Amino acid sequence: MMQHSQTGDAALVLFSGGQDSATCLAWALARYPHVETIGFRYGQRHAVEMECREPVRHALASDRLGEDHVVDLAATIGGLGQTAMTADIAIAMQDSGLPNTFVPGRNLLFLTCAAAIAYRRGLRRIVTGVCETDYSGYPDCRDDTIKAMQLALNLGMERRFVLETPLMWRDKAATWALAYDLGGMALVDVIREQTHTCYLGNRTDRHAWGFGCGTCPACLLRAQGWDRWVAGRDPLLREST
Ligand code: ZN
C-alpha cells in the first residue's frame, strides 16, 4: 500500500552501526517524534558493524523509535567490482587520491534506496552521517553531492524530502561532543562500547574510544577525535572518562 502523504517531522536515519550514524540516530530521536532506521548489506568484509545495529537501537530505544529496514545490496555492489571495503585487499591510497576503501556510487545507491523506503513509509526527512570535514575525501560524502541528490530524488519521486547531514561540518572531536550534548556520558558510553568503526572488524582490542585495531584509517580518525575531545574538556569532566 503506497502512502501518498509525507509526515513533515518523521525521519529515516541511515544507520550502519558505526559511531557517526549512531550519533545521527540520537540526534534524530532528540528532534523528531517518529524515527525509523535503514541499514544496508553490501558485502562488507566484516559483519561486525551490522551486528552492532540492534544493540545500539536497543540502547537508544524510546517510544519515538520505529521500524528498522535492512536492504540487501550485496549482489548489486558485489557485481560492480571489488574494493578494499568488500574484499580482502590491503587498504591503500590510489593514484586518484582516494583510498581503495571507496566504493563508487555506494552512498548514492544508499540514498536512493532510503528515499524509496521513505516514500513508501511517508517519511519526509532522511538523515545521513556523511561528513566533509574529517574524512578520506569520498566525493559522495560532500555537501554538494548531498544537495544534488536531494534535488534529484525530489524531482524523480515527486516528493519534498529533506536530506539532513548533522555531521557534515563536524570533525570527529565535535561528533563526540555532539553525542555528549545529546545524551551525556550515558550516550557517549553506548557509542564507545557498542558502535563499530574499524575497517578490519576488530572487536577484541579495547581502547578508551572503543573497540578496534587502532591502526586502520577509521580507527585512527575515531581515536584522534576522542583524544582531542577529551583534551578539550573541563578537567573535572575529563576525570569521569
Ligand atoms: Zn581499525
Centre of ligand 1 from the C-alpha of residue 189, in Å = 19
Model-level pTM? 0.89
- pLDDT of 130 reads 93
Among the listed residues 179, 157, 152, 163, the one whose alpha carbon sits nearest the alpha carbon of residue 56: 179
Tell me how far the alpha carbon of residue 66 lies from the centroid of ligand 1, in angstroms. Answer: 31
Tell me, what's the pLDDT at 2? Answer: 43
pLDDT value of position 236: 64
CATH H superfamily, domain 7-197: HUPs (3.40.50.620)
At residue 4, the pLDDT reads 45
Ligand 1 centroid to 226 CA: how many Å?
14
CA of residue 22 to ligand 1 center, whole Å: 18
Could you say which DSSP state residue 139 is in? Answer: G
CA of residue 214 to ligand 1 center, whole Å: 5
SS3 of residue 66 by DSSP: strand
Q: What is the pLDDT of residue 80?
A: 77
Give pLDDT tens digits along the chain (241 positions): 344 466 679 999 999 999 999 999 999 999 999 999 999 998 776 678 788 899 999 999 999 999 999 999 988 887 777 665 666 666 667 776 666 667 788 899 999 999 999 999 999 999 999 998 766 678 888 999 999 999 999 999 999 999 999 999 999 999 999 999 999 999 999 999 999 989 888 999 999 999 999 998 889 999 999 999 999 987 766 666 6
How many angstroms is it from 166 CA to the middle of ligand 1? 24
Candidates 167, 120, 123, 163; CA nearest to 26 is 167
The domain segmentation of the chain, as residue ranges, is 7-197
**Residue 113 CA, ligand 1 centroid: distance in Å:** 28
Report the alpha-carbon distance of residue 175 to residue 229 in Å, rounded: 9
If we measure between CA atoms, which residue out of 42, 14, 228 comes closest to residue 129? 14
pLDDT of residue 219: 93
State in Å: Cα 218 to ligand 1 middle: 6
**Residue 7 Cα, ligand 1 centroid: separation in angstroms?**
39
The answer to whether the beta carbons of residues 132 and 168 sit under 8 Å apart is yes
* Bridge partners (DSSP) listed for residue 127: 13, 164
Distance 38 CA to ligand 1 centre (A): 24
- 49 CA → ligand 1 middle, Å: 12
